[in-house]
Amino acid sequence: MEKMARVTTALGGNTLSGRTMFCHLDAPANAISVCRDAAQVVVAGRNIFKIYSIEEEQFVEKLNLRVGRKPSLNFSCADVVWHQMDENLLATAATNGVVVTWNLGKPSRNKQDQLFTEHKRTVNKVCFHPTEVYMLLSGSQDGYMKCFDLRKKDSVSTFSGQSESVRDVQFSIRDYFTFAATFENGNVQLWDIRRPDRYERMFTAHNGPVFCCDWHLEDRGWLATGGRDKMVKVWDMNTTRAKEIYCVQTIASVARVKWRPECKHHIATCSMMVDHNIYVWDVRRPFIPSAMFEEHKDVTTGIVWRHLHDPYFLLSGSKDSTLYQHIFKDASQPIDRANPEGLCYSLYGDLAFAAKESLISSDSNRKPYIGDRRHPIFFKRKLDPTEQFEYISSSSALSVFETDVESGSMDWFVHTAKQYALAGRPLAELCDHNAKVAKGLDRNQVAQTWTMLRIIYSSLGNVSSANLNHSMGKGSAALPLMNSFNLKDIPSGLGSESRLDRSKGESRTENILMDSSSTLINNEDNEETEGSDVPADYLLGDVEADEDDLYMMDHENPHAEEQEYSLPQEAFPLRHEIVDNPSALDHLQDKADSPHVSGNEAETVSLTPVESFSLISISHSLYENRLPSDFFSPIVRDTLLFYAEQGDVQTAVSVLIVLGERIRKEIDEQTQEHWYTSYIDLLQRFQLWNISNEVIKLSTCRAINCLNQASTTLHVNCSNCKRPMSNRGWICDRCRQCASMCAVCHHVVKGLFVWCQGCSHGGHLQHIMKWLETSSHCPAGCGHLCEYT
Amino acid sequence: MQANGLDERTNLLVEEYSTSGRLDNITQVMSIHTQYLESFLRSQFYMLRMDGPLPLPYRHYIAIMAAARHQCSYLINMHVDEFLKTGGIAEWLNGLEYIPQRLKNLNEINKLLAHRPWLITKEHIQKLVKTGENNWSLPELVHAVVLLAHYHALASFVFGSGINPERDPDTSNGVRLIAVNNFCVCDLANDNNIENASLTSSNFGNVMVFLQIADSLSELEALMERMKRLQEDKEDEEASQEEMATRFEKEKKESLLVISGAFDDEIVSTDVSRYIEDPGFGYKDFARRGEDHLPTFRAQDYTWENHGFSLVNRLYSDIGHLLDEKFRMVYNLTYNTMATHEDVDTTMLRRALFNYVHCMYGIRYDDYDYGEVNQLLERSLKVYIKTVTCYPERTTKRMYDSYWRQFKHSEKVHVNLLLMEARMQAELLYALRAITRHLT
C-alpha cells in the first residue's frame, strides 16, 4: 500500500481527498451504498450491516445496525440503498423477502423503521426515487415489483413483470415517472409508476438473466445493462425501439454496472463469479478496459462511486470481507501493459510488422530497406480533444515485407504433405514411399532419414540385399547435409520453414537465422541471405562437391561417376550409413549421454573403415545378434528433435506417426503435442484440410485426437419455414414437413444428403451422382447447371 | 392429455428412436411429460455424445461408477453396452482395479457426491486438479461432476419409477443379463410398455388413471384444503424470524425420523460392487452430525442461477444452458391438475417438494417457510421422498403406492422428476461451490 498517492479534487465547495485504503469487515458484503455527502458508506451482507465513515487515512466504523440478541433474517441483506435526498434514510432488501427501512435519526439503538413483508421471495433490489423522499421501489424473486410510500404501511402499487424473477430496478433520472426493471429471462421492461397494469416497453437485452442496469448520469436516454452472458450493453432509450449502441464483452458474468461520474463514456463493472477485479471501460473501446482495480481476493459484490460528481474515487465491497476505497491514480491500466507492436508472418514468408508510429520514425538510424518490398501503410486515429481520459496516442504504422517468390515458395511442403503415406501399409513400404517422395522434391536428407528408419525398424529378413544397398547409398548423404547445417548454409526450403515456425514463437534455432537484435533488422538480413541463396540447387551442389572431396576415399567409382552427369542429388556417394549416426550424435546430442549411445558410437566407429558392400552383412549381423530395435531409439529421437529444431515439424510428425509405438515412448507427451499442433496449424493454413484431419486421426496424443471431436455440428434450417431444425435433419418440428426431399426420387433423404450450393437442390448421394452423369441440369428442374465433383 | 400433447409425444419418441436406435424405459416413462423429456434428452445427449472435455468411453464409465453407488444395475448395464460401443477397454469392466489411476481418483468425489455432498471441500478438488501425472483439468472435472450428479439423480428416478431392465434381444455380446433388482418390484414401466406397444395408442392417458378408493378421496380433499388455507393465510399469519429458523431445523430434524428403521445390510452383487469402493458409505442425515457442526448451505449465497450456472458454463460450455433449461422446465411444469381436480395452482406443492429435497441436503432458502412442507407433505410421502433421494435402492412399490393414492401415475412421475432434478441441483451446488472456493 505504499505506492498510494494522495488525491484531492475540488468539487464546488466540497473537497474530496483520500488514498487507496481498505478495512476488514467481519463478514462478506453483499452490497454497499454511499451517503449523499460522500463521507459515509453503508455495508450490508448476510451477517453484516454497518456504517463506516470515510476518513483521510482509513475507514472508521460508525454504527452497527445489527442489533438484538438473535439477529433475525430481516438483517440478512441482499441489497442496501442510501437515500440521496435524506441522509438519515436507508432501505435494505432481505433475503427472506422483507423490505426494511431504517431511520438513523431514531434515538434508540434499533434504527429499524418500517417493515414491508409483501414479497413472497427474496428481494433482490431496492431503489429510492432520486428526487422524491418517500418513494421506494423493490424488485423480488417472485416476479413482482412494488412501490412503497414510506408514509404508509403498505405498498402503493404492485407491478407484475409477467415473467420470472426481477433482478434489478432503477428509477430513471430524467423521467420522474419512469423506472427500468431487469429480469431473469433476459428482458428489460420500462414502467410508468402511475400505470401498474402494464409495462410501457419491453425488449430482450441479454441471453440469460440481466443482473443489473444503470441509467446514465447525464446523457439521460442511456441505460446500461449487464448480464450473465458476460456482456455489458448500452441502450439508447430515446427512440421508440431501444437501440443497442455499445457492447462490451467481459470475461465473466456481470454483477454490477455503474456509470462513472463526469465521464460520458466510462462505466465501472464487477463480476459475479471467478473474476475479482473491477474494471472501468470506455464503452467505445470495448476490447480493453481503461482501468482496472485488482485489490480484492474474492468476487466484488458492490461498487459505488463515492461522489456523484467525482470520477476519481470508487468504493467497493467484496465477499472477501473487505471494503476498499480505490483511487483512480492507483488503478492499473492494462493498456500500458499491452504490446504496442505486432508481428506476423504470412504463409509464404511475408512479414507484416505494426508498431507505434513514433517508435518507427524515431529509429532513423536504421536505413529502411530499399526497393519495392516494403509497403508501409500508415493508420492514424484522430485524438478526441474533448476526451480527457485518452491516454495513448493511437497512431501506428504497418509495414509489410515480402520475400521474393522463389525462395519463399512452400510448394515442397504442400507436395510432401499430400504425397506422404502415413498409415495403412507395412512400415517398410511407408518408409520407402516417403523416401521416394522426399527425394522427388530434392530433399535428400529427409529421404535418407526415411531409408534409415526402414533399415532400423523393419525386419531385415525380407529386404533384399540389393535394396538394402541402394538405400544405404541414399542414406550416406545425410552427413554432408548435416554438416552444411552446422555451417549455417541453409537450403532455402528449410530456411523459410523455420521462419514460419518462428512466427509461432517456438523455434529456438538462433544459430541459423537470428543474431536477434530487432526482428525487423533480422528479417531484412534474412531476406538478403535468402536473396543470395536463391539458387538452392547450386548451394546443394556446392556442398556435395566439398563432401566428395572430403569423404570420397573409399567408395566405389561407378557411383561417383554417375553422379557427375546425372541427377547430382541422387548420386550421393555410397558411404557407410553408420558413419552418419555418430556424427549426427556429435553435434546434436549434448544432453543425451546414455551409455547406450556411446556404446553404439564406439561400435559403429569401429566399423567405419569397412567397405560399403560388406555393410549389409554387418547390418544383418547387428540384427542377428538380437540388437533390439529400440537400441536405436535415442538416435531416432535425436533425429526427430533435430528436424523439429530446424523447423521441419513435417518430417518429425510424419516419422512419429509412421513409427507409432516404436518411438512414442521416447519423446515426451508435451513435445509430441507441440509438434502435432504446429504441423496441423501449418496444414490448415495451407488449407490442406484432409491431410490435417488424417494427421489428427492418426495421432496418439489425447489432446490432439479430441480436436476431431470438437465442433462437429452442422446446423440445418428447414427449407419450408426457414427456421432452424431442432434435432433431426429430415423433419421439421414446426411446419411438420419433411424438409429434405430427394430431387430425383422425391423421397425423404435420411442418410447421405448432397446438395448443390448454387440452387440448393439435392438428394440421395447415389441418385444425384447418377443423374448428373447423364444431365448437367438440376434434377429439380430449376434450370441451374449443377456441378458435382 | 390432449390430442396435441400426444402427438408431440409421438414425434419426440420417433425422433429419439431414430437417433439412438432404441427407446429405453426411462424415455418411455418420462415421455408422459413431453416438454420435460425434450430438455432431458437434449442435456443427456450433450453430456454423453457431444463435444466435451472427456473422451466418450470415459463418460460412460463415469456413468457406470455413478450408477453403481446406488446399485442401479439397469443404468450400469445400459452404459456397459455404450462403453464398449464407444471403444472402451473391456478390461476396465472387470472392476475398479483395472482402470487408470486417473479415473480411480474420481472415486472419492463420487462417493461423497452420491451420499453426503456437503462434505465436499476445496481440498478434494485440489487433490484432483493438482498437477501431476493423473491430474484432472478443471473442464474435465466439471464434466465428470455433471455426469456423476446426473447419474446419481437418474438412479433415483429409475428406482422411484420402478424401471426394469429392458428385455434387450442383443445382450448376448459379452454382457451378462443382470438379475432384476429385488428391491424394486413394481412394474410400472413395463405395464406401460404393454399398453404402448404401439406408440400411437390414443388411450394412453386413460391407462394412467388409477381407480380410487373412496376413503382416499378425503385425503386429497384435505390436501387441497390445506393448500387453500396456506394461500389465504399467507398474509395474516406472520411467523417470527426465530420461528422460521426453527421450522427449518425442525424439518431437518424430522427428516431423520422419517426413515424406517434398520435395513439389513444389503448384499451388493459383485456385478455392481466391482465398480465401487467403500460400499458401506451411505447417506447420513445432515442434521445428525453431532459435534462437527457444518453450517447450513444458504441457498441465496450460492444459487444455481447466479453462481452455479456461470461456473459450469465457463468450464464446460453450453451445458449450463441445457441444465438451466431443464431445471426451469421441471420446476415450472404443471398441468394445473391434482388428481381429479382441474385448475389448481400447484406451485406451492412443487416448491415444497423441491425445497424438501434440498432441506435434506442441508440447503436452506431464507425466503421459504418450512412450515409449509409439514402442511403439504404427508408422512408417507416424506418417507418416499427420503428413500428415493437418499437411498433409492431401497425403494419399494409399497412406498410408491402408499402416498397420494388417488393421484394419477403421471403425477407421481412428475414428483419423481422433481425429486431427481432437485437432487441433481443440490449435488451440483455443493460440488461447484467447492470448485469456486478452489478457484478463489
B395 pLDDT higher than 90:
no
| A367 and A432 together in one domain | no
Domain assignment present for residue A241? The answer is no
Query: What is the spatial distance between Cα B61 and Cα B84, in angstroms, rounded to a whole number?
Result: 10
Q: Choose among A70, A272, A710: nearest Cβ to B307.
A: A272
Interchain pair A73, B19: CB under 8 A: no
Domain boundaries, position A726: 719-788
pTM summary value? 0.66
Dihedral-angle region of residue B124 (phi above 0 means left; psi in -120 to 50 means alpha; beta otherwise): alpha
Residue A94: inside a domain, yes or no? no
> Which pLDDT band holds residue A710 (cuts at 50, 70, 90)?
low
**Would you tell me the crossing angle of helices B214-233 and B347-360 to the nearest 10 degrees?**
90
Residue where a domain stops, chosen among A656, A680, A712: A712
Residues A705 and A754 both lie in one domain? no
Does A117 sit within 8 Å of B242, measured CB to CB? no
Mean pLDDT score of chain A, rounded to an integer?
A: 73
Q: Which residue from B minimizes the CA distance to A124?
A: B300
Closest-CA residue to A481 (of A414, A553, A604, A580): A580
**pLDDT (0 to 100) of residue A43:** 93
Grid cell for residue A182: 431487469
The answer to whether B162 touches B189, Cβ cutoff 8 Å, is yes
Contact at 8 Å (CB) between A62 and A99? no
Give the end of a domain, one of A712, A738, A767: A712
Give residue B294's pLDDT band: very low, low, confident or very high (50, 70, 90). Answer: low
Q: Are residues A640 and A704 in the same domain?
A: yes
- Least confident segment among A77-86, A388-397, A679-688, B400-409: A388-397
Which is more confidently placed, B234 or A666? A666
State the nearest Cα–Cα gap between B53 and chain A, in angstroms.
Answer: 8
Q: Are A743 and A764 in the same domain?
A: yes
Region A684-707: mean pLDDT is 82
Mutate to test the interface with A, among B310, B317, B351 (most CBs of A within 10 A): B310
Q: pLDDT at residue A41 above 50? A: yes
- From A684, A712, A740, the end of a domain falls on A712
In a domain, residue A361? The reply is yes
Interchain contact, A184 vs B305, CB within 8 Å:
yes
Q: CA A335 to CA A279: how far, in whole Å?
A: 12
Among the partner residues A76, A117, A710, nearest to B51 by beta-carbon distance:
A710
Q: Which three cell numbers stand for residue A360?
A: 518507427
Mutation target among A211, A273, A728 for the B interface, most CBs of B within 10 A:
A273
Q: Does the pLDDT at position B266 exceed 60?
A: no
Of all residues in chain B, the one with the smallest CA distance to A731 is B15
Q: How far apart are CA B417 and CA B274, in angstroms?
A: 29
Q: Between the CA of residue B91 and those of A661, B61, B80, B83, what are the distances in Å?
A: 21, 12, 12, 11
- pLDDT beyond 60 at A597: no
Spatial separation of the C-alpha atoms in residues B313 and B284, rounded to whole Å: 31
pLDDT band, residue B267 (cuts 50/70/90): low
Please answer whether residues A608 and A640 qualify as being in contact, where contact means their C-beta atoms are separated by less than 8 angstroms.
no
Domain annotation covers residue A106: no
Confidence bin at A666 (pLDDT 50/70/90) = confident
Residues of B in contact with A211 (CB under 8 A): 306
> Taking CA atoms, what residue in B is nearest to A702?
B55
Per residue in A480-526, pLDDT (tens digit) is 333 333 333 334 444 444 444 444 444 343 333 334 333 333 344 44
Share of chain A above pLDDT 70, in %: 66
A708 and A723 housed in the same domain:
no
* Reported confidence tier of residue B242, pLDDT bands at 50, 70, 90: low
Better-predicted residue by pLDDT, A470 or A203: A203
Question: Does residue A557 carry a pLDDT above 50?
Answer: no
What distance in Å separates the CA atoms of residue B33 and residue B326, rounded to the nearest whole number? 12
Quote the percentage of chain A above a pLDDT of 90.
Answer: 19
Residues of B belonging to the active site: 72
A730 and A706 belong to one structural domain: no
| Maximum CA extent, chain B | 66
Interface of B with A in 360-389 (CB under 8 A): 366-367
Query: Which of A282-286, A405-409, A654-658, B74-78 has the weakest average pLDDT?
Result: A405-409
Q: Are residues A731 and A784 in the same domain?
A: yes
pLDDT computed for residue B271 by the predictor: 67
Distances (CA, A) of A285 to A244, A248, A268: 15, 8, 13
The pLDDT assigned to B398 comes to: 83
Q: Which of B50, B245, B436 minimises the CB distance to A273? A: B436
Average pLDDT over residues B145-160: 92
Chain B residues in contact with A120 (beta carbon < 8 A)? 234, 367
Residue A634 counted as domain residue: yes
Q: For A534-570, where are the alpha helices, taking DSSP H only?
A: 536-551, 557-565
Nine-digit cell string for A399: 509495414
Check pLDDT > 70 for residue B221.
yes
Q: Are residues A708 and A770 in the same domain?
A: no
A interface residues, B as partner, C-beta within 8 Å: 46, 70, 72-74, 76, 78, 94-97, 117, 119-122, 141, 165, 184, 208-209, 211, 228, 252-253, 272-274, 276, 297-299, 320, 702, 706, 709-713, 727-728, 731, 733
> Is the pLDDT at A541 greater than 70, yes or no?
no
Q: Angle A577-588/A444-457 helices, nearest 10 degrees?
A: 110
Q: How far apart are CA A432 and CA A450, in angstroms?
A: 7
pLDDT at A226: 94
Select the highest-mean-pLDDT range: B76-90, B138-152, B263-277, B290-304: B138-152
The tens digit of pLDDT for each residue in A612-625 reads 444 444 444 444 45
> Which residues make beta-bridge pairs with B337?
B342
C-alpha cell at A71: 439477529
On the question of pLDDT at B223 being above 60, the answer is yes
- Could you give the residue ranges of the DSSP H alpha helices within B90-213? 101-104, 107-115, 122-129, 138-160, 188-195, 204-208
Q: Clarify whether residues A694 and A729 are in a common domain.
A: no
Summarised one tens digit per residue, pLDDT across range B161-177 is 887 665 544 433 333 33
Per-residue pLDDT of A129-181, as tens digits, reads 988 888 999 999 889 999 999 898 888 999 998 877 899 999 998 888 999 99
Which among A73, A299, A712 has the least Cβ separation from residue B366?
A73
Does A212 score more than 90 pLDDT?
yes
Examine the pLDDT at A377 and tell me if it is beyond 70. Answer: no
CA distance A685 to chain B (A): 24
**Inside any domain, residue A375:** yes
Distance (Å) from the C-alpha of residue B308 to the closest C-alpha of chain A? 9
Contact check, Cβ <8 Å, A253/B242: no
> In terms of CA atoms, which chain B residue is nearest residue A119?
B367
Instruction: Name A226's bridge partners.
Output: A212, A232
Query: Hey, are the CB atoms on A95 and B367 less than 8 Å from each other?
Result: yes
Residues of A in contact with B19 (CB under 8 A): 727-728
Task: Inform me whether the pLDDT recorded for B380 exceeds 90.
Answer: no
CA atoms of A299 and A316, how far apart (whole Å)? 10
Tell me, yes or no, whether A696 and A635 share the same domain: yes
Give the model's pLDDT for residue B207. 35
Domain count, chain A: 3
Alpha helices by DSSP H, listed for A420-491, are 427-440, 444-457, 465-475, 478-486
Residue A31 pLDDT greater than 90, yes or no: yes
CA dihedral A197, A201, A206, A212 (to 10 degrees): -70
Among A54-68, A328-342, B7-21, whose mean pLDDT is lowest? B7-21
Please determine, for residue B191, whether its predicted confidence score (pLDDT) is greater than 50. no
- The model's confidence at residue A268, banded by pLDDT at 50, 70 and 90, is very high
Predicted confidence (pLDDT) per residue in B334-376, tens digit: 888 887 788 888 888 899 999 999 988 888 888 888 888 888 8
Domain assignment present for residue A461? The answer is: no
pLDDT in tens, A737-776: 666 778 888 887 777 778 777 777 888 888 888 888 888 7
Please give the interface size between A and B, counted as residue pairs whose CB atoms are below 8 Å apart. 86
Q: Which of A186-200, A415-429, A620-634, B24-38 is predicted least confidently?
A: A620-634
| Neighbouring-strand partners of residue A312 | none
| Averaged pLDDT for residues A598-611 | 41
Instruction: Tell me what pLDDT residue B61 has.
Output: 92
Which of B367, B369, B436 to mutate to test binding with chain A, by most A CBs within 10 Å of its CB?
A: B367
Which of A618-622, B39-43, B71-75, B366-370 shows the lowest per-residue confidence on average (mean pLDDT)? A618-622
Does a structural domain hold residue A422? yes
Nearest Cα residue in chain B from A184: B305
Contact, A437 vs A446, CB < 8 A?
A: no
Q: Give me the pLDDT at residue A572, please.
A: 40
